[in-house]
A and B are shown apart, each in its own frame.
Chain A
Amino acid sequence: MVAASALSSCATLPVYKTTMANNKVTVPASLFAQSDFQVVQPKDLFYNIGLRKEKDGTYTALLLRCTHADNQLMATGNGFKCNLHGSTFDKEGQVTQGPAEHSLKKYQTEIIADQIIIHLS
C-alpha cells in the first residue's frame, strides 16, 4: 500500500528534461494526458519550471526560483519548498510560508501544434 501510494504521488514525475532555444522551451502537450502538472528541466537553466495545465486548457509556467534569495525550489507533495530559509509556495506559485514575500515568476505560454511553448524572455 505504501508503494502504491508512493507511486501515485509520482504523477508529476519523472522530470521532463529538455533544452532551450531562442529563450524558449518546448514541451509536448501529450505529457499532460495523465496529469495536470509537470516539472520541466531545461538544460543550462539551473532552475526547473513548473508547468500546470489549467481548466480552460491554457498552461501556466512557474519559474521554480525562490523569490527571497534566488535559490532553487524543490517540489513537495503540495507545492514547492526552498531549503535555504524554508520558504514554501503552493502549486499556483503563491507564498504559503516566508521569508519569501512574493509569488513565483510566471512565464508566458502558447500552444502550437500540440507543443507548449514557454517564453523565457
Chain B
Amino acid sequence: MHFCGTQQLELMKRYTFTLLVLISLFSPRLFAQQKPITTSEDSLNNNISKSSTTIGGYGNAFYQRNSRTQTANLDLERFVLFTGHKFNNKISFFSELEVEDAKVTGGESGGEIAVEQAYLKFNLNANQYIVAGLFLPRIGILNENHLPNTFNGNERDYVETFIIPSTWRELGVGLYGSLNNLPINYSVGLVNGLSSEMFTHGTGIRDGRFEGRNASGNNLAVTASLQFYQGDFKAQVSGYYGGTVGANKRKADSLGLQSGTFGTPVAMGEADVQYASNGFSVKVLGALVSIPDADKINRAYASNTPKTEYGAYAEVGYDLLHLAGSTKNKQLIVFVRDEKLNMNASIPSNGVIDGTLDQNYVVAGLTYLPIRNVAIKGDVRIAHTGNQNPDLIINPNPVAQPYQPNYNLVNLGIALSF
C-alpha cells in the first residue's frame, strides 16, 4: 500500500500519539513492579519506612602450599551473594547464596552451591526481633559473623570449622533481643536437629547438618546465647542441645537408638571473650561437644563417633599502622593464633581412638586492609597432630606414604565484602 508524504506524516502523528497514551497509562504499573535494586549506598537515602532491596556479598580466594603433600593449589574458596528486602519497618527478608570452589560440575566431586541463609525477620520493637527460616544460630564468633575480611588468616579457624561446624545453618525460629536495663544481648532458637546417621569419622558433627535440605522434623534442637558488653570487652556464652534421630520409633528401636525430639542427643557449650582497643585485638574461645549415646550410634552406623570433643583457641593481633598513626581505614595486622582441638577427646567402648584427630596448630601472619572491606592475607599454619592408629590404616606403607604428624601450610590470598 502506497501513501503520499502528507498522509504518512498524519499516520506517524497518530501512531506516536497512541503510543504516548499507552505509555502514560501503563508506566506507573510497570515502574511499580520494577523497584530499583539499591546498593548499600542507596539504602542511606531511603526514607526509613520505604521498602528497599539491597545487594551485598563476600568472597575469598587463596593459594596454599602443603608441605606434607608437597603440592600447592589455588581456589576461589567462596563467593557469597546476599540479597535483602525490607517490606516495611516490621518485616524484612535476608538471604545468602554461596558458591564454594567456583563451580559445580555434574559427575565431579568438589564445589558446592548452597543457600546459606534465607529467613524472614519480624521486628517486635527496636530491641527485639523474631527470625523464621534458614538462619545461623548464635554459637561461637564465626557462625554469625564470618566475612573473610574480618578475621585473620586465609582459612577460618579449625575450632570453628570442626568443633563448631560453621557456618552452621538450620531451619527454625529464633528470638533475638537486647535488654534495656543491662548491657546484655540474648538469643534463643528452635531448629531442626542433626542426623547422627550422617556423622563421619574425622569431621566431628559437621556432616550431621541438614543445612535446609530435607531436614528431619521428628528431632529438634534448642540454642541459646548471652552476650555481655563492657567498654572494649565482649563476652559470650552459648549452648546447643538437640536430638539426632529423625527415624520413627519402630525404626529407631530396631537400630538401638533413642528417637523423639531430643533422642540420642548432642550437646554443645561455647564461651568466648573478645577485646579490641588501641590497635590491639584479642580473642579467646572454647567449645565442648558431648555425644552421650556415641556407643549406640557406633553400633547402628559404625561411624566411630566420639563421646566428647573439644576445641579452644587464643589469638592476639596488633595493627602496625595504628602505631604509625595511620588513617583509620588502613590496617596492617600482625597476628598469631594457637588452636587446639581433639575430635575424639573421649570415645565409647566400641570406638577406636584416632591420634590424628588430636590436633594443635599455630597460625601466624599478616592481614593488610587497604580499605576496611578488602583484605590481603598471608599466613603460615604450623600443624602437629597425634600419630595414626595402626588399626585404622587401610593402605600401609609403602602402598601409601607414611603419615606425617608435623607439616605446615603457607597461604596467600585476598578477601572482600560489600
Contact = CB atoms under 8 A, between A and B. Distances in A.
Interface of A: 5-6, 9-10, 13-15, 17, 41, 45-48, 63-65, 67-72, 74-78, 83-86, 94-102, 105
15 contacts: A9-B183, A9-B230, A45-B126, A69-B43, A72-B123, A72-B126, A76-B229, A77-B230, A77-B233, A78-B277, A86-B144, A98-B417, A101-B41, A101-B373, A102-B40
A100 B399 CA distance: 53
B234 interface: yes
A45 B48 contact: yes
Contact of A10 (B90, B92, B181): B181
B160 to A, nearest CB: 14
B150 interface: yes
A75 to B, nearest CB: 7
B401 interface: no
Contacts of B66: none
B346 interface: no
Contacts of A68: 40, 43, 54, 56
Nearest to B54: A69
Interface stretch (B81-89, B259-267, B347-355): B81-89
B126 A99 contact: no
A30 B52 CA distance: 38
Contact of A14 (B144, B147, B180): B180
B372 A105 contact: no
Contact of A85 (B82, B178, B328): B82
Interface of B: 40-41, 43-44, 46, 48, 52, 54, 56, 58, 82, 84, 86, 89-90, 92, 94, 123, 125-127, 129, 138, 144-145, 147, 149-150, 176, 178, 180-183, 185, 228-234, 277, 328, 372-373, 417-418
Contacts of B234: 76-77
Most buried by B among A63, A64, A65, A83: A83
Contacts of B123: 46, 72
Given A17-B180, A70-B52, 10 more contacts: A6-B183, A6-B228, A14-B181, A47-B126, A64-B126, A68-B54, A70-B86, A74-B185, A98-B417, A105-B44
A70 B182 contact: no
B44 A13 contact: no
- Top 4 closest pairs, chain A to chain B, by CB: A86-B145, A98-B373, A9-B230, A15-B180
A86 B150 contact: yes
A99 B183 contact: no
Given A9-B231, A101-B373, A77 B40 contact: no
B258 to A, nearest CB: 35
A33 B281 CA distance: 33
A60 B133 CA distance: 37
A69 B129 CA distance: 16
A13 B127 contact: no
A75 B372 contact: no
